[in-house]
Structure 1
Amino acid sequence: MAGSIKKQPNGKYLLTAYCGYDAKGKQVRIRKTIEAKSDREAQKKLALFVAEVENGGIAQTANMTLAEFADYWLEKHAKMHLADRTLERQLGILKTRILPTLGHLKIDKIKPSHVLHLKQQLIDCERLDRKAGKLSLRSVEMNLGLLRSMLNKAVKWKLISTNPCQDVDIPKPKHRKIPIYDEQQLAIFLRLLDSEPTKYKLMAMLALTTGLRRSEMFGLEWQHINFNKRTCSIEQSSLYIVGKGLITKEPKTELSARLVAAPTITMELFKQHYEDQRIEQDKLQDMWCGSNRVFTTWDGRPMHPDTFNTWLKKFIKKHNLPHISPHSFRHMSATFALQQGIYLKSVSSRLGHAKTSTTADIYAHALQSVDREIADKMDSFLDSINGNQILN
């Protein structure tokens, strides 16, 4: 690979590496401006620069557009460090909003004004899911946050000197409330649930009584269930990824791999479901696929996690109940536990949160209820031992 040097009027040197020709027959040139004490030193730096370009070093990305850098970021970082579901979501964000607006710009030419333009466009644009209204502030935050994160990598890799996103405020959405049932609504739900097939009763009760994530529930296999000790061992998750289908992966975080105790009612449903599954297996014999999953299709293959959503939506509509999602059961499990006075640390560990602060942030409403109950109990305690003499 050839290279050349041109001394600039300001005393610096412009290095050029020639990298063949593109599809249109135009010579590809990678340039870099350096400082050197002499022509000889500049020649040495040119040799190093050409070698770096020739060996596929980062210097080759110096003239990239944001769209080209996105591919580079994908190969050098995202595929190696992001979970499949996170990667799928971020690629969707890139292709839908960010790249159509800024993808044509060279990464070293992106200015705060360009990011501000994207921000305003996100705030003003319509939703793509055909629902009424504008894009949510959460979606705006995710778009701008992803762009900032990507360009932080570009700074770290010395492709650009500063991140233009740093000077643009990212809107902070209000915490999204997950709908849950109160005790009376839950009692009605459970009464109606009793007439459902065992596998659906188990789905709902398992989520409610253990707080497992949906992906954790559908990753369960029978060897993970200990009937004697009444525990579920969370060792894997089952997810659906567009283009890949159902995949099995490690739990979300290190603390997500855990042993969760289940109440007697849930374990009894496990036993009933196990017997039902064995009966189906005997009927199908060689047609049974034998995945050993707790939740399976009619022929024993791992069940799609969206089955929970589909069943719950039909069940709620059939009985005219308030809307909830599968994730609502996890929130109800934590909320009711905290309201019963269970320690925050215990609830956090049961949910598999990496930090207790995460649990505290999400369930602040439940903690406030517990805090009021503590104050009321303190009133009763002081009244019992002091008879309100302080106020008399």
Structure 2
Amino acid sequence: MQRCSLIKKNRKRGSDVWLLRWSDKSISGKRIYRKRVIGTVDEYSDAQSARQAVSSLIERINADNPRIGLRSITLSTLCNHFERCELAQSNTWRSYSTKKCYAGYLKRWVVPQWGKYELREIKTIEVESWLRRLPLAKSSCAKIRGVMSVLFNHACRYELFDHNPIHLVRQGAKRKGTPCVLAPSEIKLLADSLADRERTLVLLAASTGLRQSELFGLKWGDINFTEGTMNVTRSIVCGIVGPCKTESSQKPVPIHPLIIEALVKWKEHQHYRKPDDWIFASGRRSGRKPYWGQAILRKYILPKAQALGIEKRFGWHTFRHTYSTLLRSVGTEFKVMQELLRHSSLRSTLDVYTQAITPAKHAAQAAVMALVFSPQPESETRAF
């Protein structure tokens, strides 16, 4: 495996530059020497910083080399290659939260089990049996399977391996239990008992179904108080601002007049009211960052819910599930539900987020039984 040589080259005009040099072999076997300018000494002050900047390039050079490409590598080596190429901060193909999730699954589960195996030694049946033995929910096992499949696709893309053994691994993602859903009375009881900040957050989450990252990524300029709409254009995860989960997530969201009223009341008590200020700006960080959602949920909202007798275990995403279920209970059309929840596909809306609440089930059953047992006119009876 080539490390490639990195030298500093003087120029008659301008700053000195860093030059990366390596060699290839032609089809005839003749050695070919290649070089590429990496940058100036103003950009990279020392050789170490310059080499770090070209680590992914060196990986590609080695991957393109037939002697290296055909060599068997371990899954741990492949993970390192994947992290440098795909999970680097400069790579914009994936969001920050996705990169963090991939890195977590690789470090916690994949590398400890399969890191020392060569790629050709990893078999479909063995991976399938391993996933079934893991003490995790099926959805988590499905995510691990997905990460491993992405990993092997990466190996095929860089010609480090010739196939993906994970494609045939069977792993369901069905939940063990149904997601928690709050009743309308519980939402009202909770909202009426909270302070302005928490009340505004709960009302906004329950009436729009925003994800936590989108909820705390809102700025005052995103709200159109006149038209009663909101533009969701960004998300924030662990303090890192990025785009929304999908293109559909960026569509305008309607806001009910009661929520507009709560937002206006919250804004009146804020020091940060400019269009570019966070709606839920943290005073501790001088408004540069919004509050951390999990801290507010854990310190203020959940203790208040327990004090009110709400025993359900819920989080920010519970409000999204609740919003979807309540939309369906009032007879909202499926396409409208998809638009309100900003899902890219209708299947996610119906299969994952929506549940039929008990009164709706009873009403549907009663309607069917009424059709069966209602007295029929004689003309309809004779027709049969």
The interval holding the TM-score normalised by the smaller chain is 0.7 to 0.9
Query: Offset at 1:228?
Result: 1.3
Q: Is the 8 A contact 2:138 2:176 kept in 1?
A: no
Q: Does the 8 Å CA contact 1:238/1:305 hold for their aligned counterparts?
A: no
Contact residue 348 and residue 356 of structure 1 kept, 8 A: yes
The answer to whether structure 1 residue 73 and structure 2 residue 73 are counterparts is: no
Contact 2:59 2:81 (8 Å CA) reproduced: no
Q: Does 1:206 align with 2:204?
A: yes
Residue 265 of structure 2 corresponds to 272
Once the two structures are superposed, the pairs formed by residues 28-67 of structure 1 within 5 Å of their partners are 44=27, 46-47=29-30, 55-59=61-65, 60=68, 62-67=71-76
Q: Aligned equivalents of 1:367 and 1:320: distance in 2? A: 20
What are the superposed Cα offsets for residues 184-229 of structure 1, whole Å, 9 maximum, x if unpaired?
Answer: xx31441343232111111001011111111111111111111111
**Larger fraction in helix:** 1
SS in 2 for 1:219: coil
- The correspondence for 2:293, drawn from 305, 312, 315, is 305
One-letter amino acid of the counterpart of residue 112, structure 2? P
Secondary structure, counterpart of 1:238 in structure 2: strand
Structure 2 residue aligned with 1:98: 110
1:258 equivalent to 2:251? Answer: yes
The alpha carbon displacement at 1:371 in A equals 8.7
How much has 1:343 moved relative to structure 2? 0.9
For residue 48 of structure 2, what is the aligned residue in structure 1?
none
Question: Equivalents in 2 of 1:348, 1:339: separation in Å?
Answer: 15
Distance in 2 between residues matched to 1:372 and 1:388, nearest whole Å = 30
- Distance across 2 between alignment mates of 1:111 and 1:249: 37
C-alpha RMSD of matched pairs (Å): 3.6
Q: Using the TM superposition, give the Cα deviation of residue 369 of structure 1 relative to its aligned residue in structure 2, in angstroms.
A: 8.1
Evaluate the alpha carbon distance shift between residue 212 and residue 57 of structure 1 in structure 2; reply closer, same or farther with a 3 A threshold. Answer: same
Deviation at 1:141, TM superposition (A): 2.2
Match of 1:139 in 2: 140
| 1:223 counterpart = 2:221 | yes
1:366 aligns with 2:367: no
Give the number of aligned pairs: 328
1:293 and 1:144, CA in 2 relative to 1: closer, same or farther beyond 3 A?
same
**Following TM superposition, by how much is the alpha carbon of 1:265 offset from its aligned partner in structure 2, in angstroms?**
1.0
Shift in CA distance, 388/103, structure 1 to aligned 2, threshold 3 Å:
farther
Matches of 2:31 and 2:376, distance apart in 1: 84
Q: Which residue of 1 aligns with 2:170?
A: 169
User: Equivalent residue for 2:43?
Assistant: none
C-alpha deviation, 1:66, in angstroms: 0.9
Instruction: Give runs of aligned pairs for residues 329-368 of structure 1, distance below 5 A.
Output: 329-363=319-353, 365-366=355-356
Sort the Cα spacing of 1:104 and 1:251 in 2 relative to 1 into closer, same or farther, 3 A: same
The alignment-based identity, stated in percent, is 20
What's the CA shift string for 1:364-389, capped at 9, x where partnerless? 53399879857866887999997586
Structure 2 gaps, min length 5: 5-24, 35-57
Per the TM alignment, residue 64 of structure 1 is displaced from its structure 2 partner at its CA by 2.4
1:149-168 to 2 correspondences below 5 Å: 149-168=150-169
Change (3 A) 1:364 1:218: closer
> What does residue 321 of structure 1 align with?
310
What TM-score, normalized to structure 1?
Answer: 0.72
Instruction: Note if contact 1:382-1:388 (Cα within 8 Å) is conserved in structure 2.
Output: no
8 A Cα contact 2:137 2:175, kept in partner: no
Aligned 8 A contact 1:108 1:159 in 2: no
Which runs of 5 or more residues in structure 1 are unaligned? 1-17, 22-41, 125-133, 241-245, 282-287
Report the 3-state secondary structure (helix = DSSP H, G, I; strand = E; otherwise coil) of the residue aligned with 1:248. strand
TM-aligned CA deviation for residue 255 of structure 1? 1.0
Amino acid at match of 1:312: I
Cα distance in structure 1, aligned partners of 2:98 and 2:201: 25
- Letter of the 1:253 partner, please give it: T
| Matched-pair contact (CA < 8 Å) for 2:219–2:275 | no
Are the equivalent residues in 1 in contact too, given 2:219–2:277 (CA < 8 A)?
yes
- Give the Cα–Cα distance (whole angstroms) in 1 for the partners of residues 101 and 178 of structure 2: 21
Distance in 2 between residues matched to 1:224 and 1:166, nearest whole Å:
42
- Contact between 2:26 and 2:32, CA under 8 Å: does it hold in 1? no
Deviation digits for residues 120-149 of structure 1 (CA, Å, limit 9, x no counterpart) = 5xx25xxxxxxxxx3222222222221122
1:27 alignment partner in structure 2: none
Q: Distance in 1 between matches of 2:189 and 2:347?
A: 35
User: Contact 1:213 / 1:330 at 8 angstroms: preserved in 2?
Assistant: yes
In structure 1, how many angstroms separate the alpha carbons of the residues matched to 2:60 and 2:163? 26
Task: Read off the aligned partner of 2:328 and give its amino acid letter.
Answer: L
Task: Tell me which residue corresponds to 2:149.
Answer: 148
Q: CA shift at 1:353, angstroms? A: 0.5
